[in-house]
């Protein structure tokens, strides 16, 4: 019986922490149901942070944490409380903030700039124009968000755009690189919406053959628009490897990432609503070591339908989309076109 640790010191663990569930928008594709406008419980935030900090130290890993909500800037006191804790821990490497951008102002930006570990602000933009974006996120959202992006860029903070792709904004996808270039942002991510039930599938799901064309168009358009610029297309997620053999990545859920909800509930991923337990009552070690859901996600062979695919090292599909479409975490991604 030998002590076992296969983690190298440069290994990264990714955490997406939804520290509040209140939000100022009601986006049509949002996977959130409750929006309780609760006050921040600093004791809960601190207790969750300590559990994470302890686990990173034990595993000899560095945590990259994305702080989000709801809308994180709706409760800046909670956001900055967490950023302060993370900034002062050696077990945390970087911080990102995921936001809709509508509440960002100069005062917040000045405070954000003081943190060394803040690596980027990710702003959601779901259309290349006001009509498309506001139809999803509500009137006036586009102008506020674009204004926030400009302010962030002017401040020197790395700013990336997240475009959540679905049937309602599919026509906008290939126009996003042009907008991203005009805003001089650092990176554009195009990521598929996870449709979680039949109603959402009917309304939002893009068939594989259509997705192939959209990804191809976005990729080719980005090459043109981002030429001689610092803007990049983020292609580290599943299916991008089918467009470019040097792109794409195997989804880290179950292996080196987790999602934490505001009350301490742990999920494999925010888009895969399969509660694993609660970090506050169960502890992180017990959940990470024993969850049957996580062990099922860790399978790379056997019943994993992607096991024999030549792209499996840098793809493997989206487990959440597979789960909600096929009721099987290890089935083929229904939007895979090969």
Give the residues lining the site for another protein (CB under 8 A).
1-5, 54-55, 58-59, 283, 285-286, 289-290, 295, 298-302
Please, what is the minimum distance in Å from the beta carbon of residue 3 to another protein? 6
Q: If residue 145 lies in a helix (H) or strand (E), which one and from where to where?
A: helix 141-155
Q: Of 72 and 277, which CB lies nearer to another protein in the complex structure?
A: 277
Please, what is the minimum distance in Å from the beta carbon of residue 254 to another protein? 11
Please, what is the minimum distance in Å from the beta carbon of residue 274 to another protein? 19
* Structure tokens, 326: 């096929």
Please, what is the minimum distance in Å from the beta carbon of residue 312 to another protein? 15
**For the CA atoms of the chain, what is the radius of gyration?**
19
Q: Of 123 and 294, which CB lies nearer to another protein in the complex structure?
A: 294
Q: Of 57 and 224, which CB lies nearer to another protein in the complex structure?
A: 57
Q: Of 190 and 306, which CB lies nearer to another protein in the complex structure?
A: 306
Instruction: Work out the angle at residue 301's Cα, subtended by the Cα atoms of residues 295 and 307, and round it to the nearest 5 degrees.
Output: 125
- Scored b (16 or more CB within 10 A) or e, 232-258 reads ebbbebbbbbbbeeebbebbebbeebb
CB 274 within 8 A of CB 267: yes
- Other Cβ atoms less than 10 A from the Cβ of 81: the count is 17
Q: Of 67 and 287, which CB lies nearer to another protein in the complex structure?
A: 287
- Other Cβ atoms less than 10 A from the Cβ of 76: the count is 18
Q: Of 37 and 290, which CB lies nearer to another protein in the complex structure?
A: 290
Please, what is the minimum distance in Å from the beta carbon of residue 293 to another protein? 14
Please, what is the minimum distance in Å from the beta carbon of residue 275 to another protein? 18
Residue 315, classed as helix, strand or coil, is: coil
CB 172 within 8 A of CB 131: no
CB 99 within 8 A of CB 121: yes
Q: How far apart are CA 122 and CA 104, in angstroms?
A: 12
Q: Of 90 and 139, which CB lies nearer to another protein in the complex structure?
A: 90
- Pairing state of beta strands 277-278 and 265-267? antiparallel
Residue matched to tokens 């405070």: 111
Please, what is the minimum distance in Å from the beta carbon of residue 252 to another protein? 17
């Amino acid at each position: 019986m030998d002590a076992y640790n296969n983690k190298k010191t440069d290994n990264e663990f990714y955490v997406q922490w939804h520290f509040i569930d209140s939000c100022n928008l009601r986006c049509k594709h949002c996977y959130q149901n409750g929006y309780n406008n609760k006050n921040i419980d600093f004791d809960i935030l601190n207790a969750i942070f300590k559990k994470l900090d302890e686990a990173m130290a034990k595993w000899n890993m560095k945590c990259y944490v994305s702080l989000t909500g709801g809308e994180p800037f709706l409760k800046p006191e909670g956001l900055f409380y967490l950023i302060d804790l993370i900034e002062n821990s050696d077990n945390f490497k970087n911080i990102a903030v995921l936001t809709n951008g509508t509440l960002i102002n100069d005062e917040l930006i000045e405070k954000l700039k003081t943190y060394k570990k803040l690596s980027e602000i990710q702003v959601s933009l779901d259309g290349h124009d006001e009509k498309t974006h506001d139809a999803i996120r509500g009137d006036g959202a586009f102008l506020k968000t674009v204004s926030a992006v400009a302010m962030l860029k002017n401040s020197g903070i790395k700013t990336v755009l997240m475009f959540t792709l679905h049937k309602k904004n599919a026509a906008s996808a290939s126009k996003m690189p042009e907008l991203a270039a005009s805003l001089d942002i650092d990176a554009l991510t195009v990521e598929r919406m996870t449709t979680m039930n039949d109603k959402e599938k009917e309304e939002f799901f893009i068939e594989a053959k259509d997705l192939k064309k959209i990804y191809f168009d976005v990729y080719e358009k980005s090459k043109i628009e981002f030429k001689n610029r610092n803007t990049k297309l983020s292609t580290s997620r599943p299916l991008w490897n089918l467009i470019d053999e040097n792109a794409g990545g195997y989804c880290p859920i179950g292996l080196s990432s987790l999602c934490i909800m505001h009350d301490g509930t742990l999920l494999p991923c925010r888009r895969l609503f399969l509660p694993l337990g609660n970090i506050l009552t169960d502890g992180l070690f017990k959940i990470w070591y024993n969850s049957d859901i996580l062990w099922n996600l860790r399978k790379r062979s056997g019943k994993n339908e992607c096991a024999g695919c030549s792209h499996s090292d840098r793809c493997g599909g989206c487990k959440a989309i597979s789960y909600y479409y096929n009721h099987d975490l290890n089935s083929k991604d229904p939007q895979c076109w090969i």
